[in-house]
Amino acid sequence: MENNHRRAQILEGNEEGDPTAEILDLAYAIHPDIDIIRISRINDDITAIFNGTFPGFRVSNPTYHNLRHTRLVALAVTRLFHGLWSDGRTFDAETLIQGLLSAFFHDTGMLLSEADNARTGAHYIKGHEKRSISFLQKYVEATSLPSSYTENCAAIIRCTALYEGIDHIRNLPEEIQLAGHIVGSADILSQMADRYYLERLPLLFQEQKDGSAHEYNTPLELMQSTADFYRTTVSYRLQTLFSDVSHAMRSHFRARWQIDQDLYTAAILKNISYLESVIARCKAEQECVKRHLRRIPPTSQ
């Protein structure tokens, strides 16, 4: 039990669940000359954006695609870069920064601007990647980041659109393609490996419902489809579309923590196995499922 708890802490970055220090440490380990101040500033700004204290934004209200999710995606992105680097893959420091910037902004399209009249950011869940890219473009211009970031990060963010292909990045530089594969993979891995993933599925259902993007009538129906979703859609994206860059997670954990295992895949398989056992036991009884999913997801952003 203690070992499982420690691995959960490692997955989240530290015991407080704020992975910022780990992101910066890994970025420095990969490229000692990387602009850590720039990454720190982007991290601080995205925190302010989600909290509604950055000019032009209102406080975030989506409960699934929130700041915690965004931070965990950024952590997974950095870990994949670190794992590839540990295996001898080289890439420019600017590629890592653009991957992180894309991760930080990939779900901002579900946030509310001061000009919005929508009740919830989940209203924009359909095609929110386009809004995310628009917000990123304005941010790049306002903060005097390199103009090349806009086109590159737009292409990377589009890789997180779950039911779209990635043909749009094939004519871009190889390192930007790599960053797209990494961010697309990290978005999936960080969600499904979360120790609160099963308890958070009803929050995802509610966001989809608020945005008229739900395919299921109840949270239970969404849960019942999750195992097949992983074995089909998720597996195809990770292994085929994204060239199996997720294998680098094992290299990361071996180099960083001396754990010769991909903790993300292990956590995902554990979540799926437990969910299937609960569904089999409870059949279609929602209250029974609730009784077996007793972890309380963090309420903070």
Q: What is the pLDDT of residue 262?
A: 98
Statement: residue 220 has pLDDT above 80 = yes
- The pLDDT tens digits of the residues spanning 236-268 come to 999 999 999 999 999 999 999 999 999 999 999
Alpha helices in the chain (DSSP H): 2-12, 20-30, 36-51, 67-86, 93-105, 128-142, 148-158, 174-192, 197-210, 219-229, 235-236, 248-257, 263-282, 286-292
Q: What percent of the chain has pLDDT over 90?
A: 89
pTM (predicted TM-score): 0.96
The mean pLDDT value for 266-292 works out to 94
Mean pLDDT over all residues of the chain?
94
Q: What pLDDT does 59 receive?
A: 92
Share of the chain above pLDDT 70, in %: 97
Domain 2-292 adopts which CATH fold? Catalytic domain of cyclic nucleotide phosphodiesterase 4b2b (1.10.1300)
CB 23 within 8 A of CB 72: no
CA nearest to 101, candidates 143, 53, 63, 64: 143
pLDDT of residue 301: 57
Tell me, what amino acid is at 133?
A: I
- Supply the pLDDT for residue 299: 62
Number of C-alpha atoms within 13 angstroms, CB side, residue 247? 7
Confidence at residue 16, expressed as pLDDT on a 0 to 100 scale = 58
Q: How far apart are alpha carbons 204 and 125 in whole angstroms?
A: 10
CB neighbourhood size of 205 (10 A): 21
Helix, strand, or coil here: 218?
coil
Q: What is the pLDDT of residue 298?
A: 81
| pLDDT tens, position by position, 100-122 | 999 999 999 999 999 999 999 99
Contact 64, 238 (CB under 8 A): no
pLDDT confidence tier of residue 187, bands split at 50, 70 and 90: very high
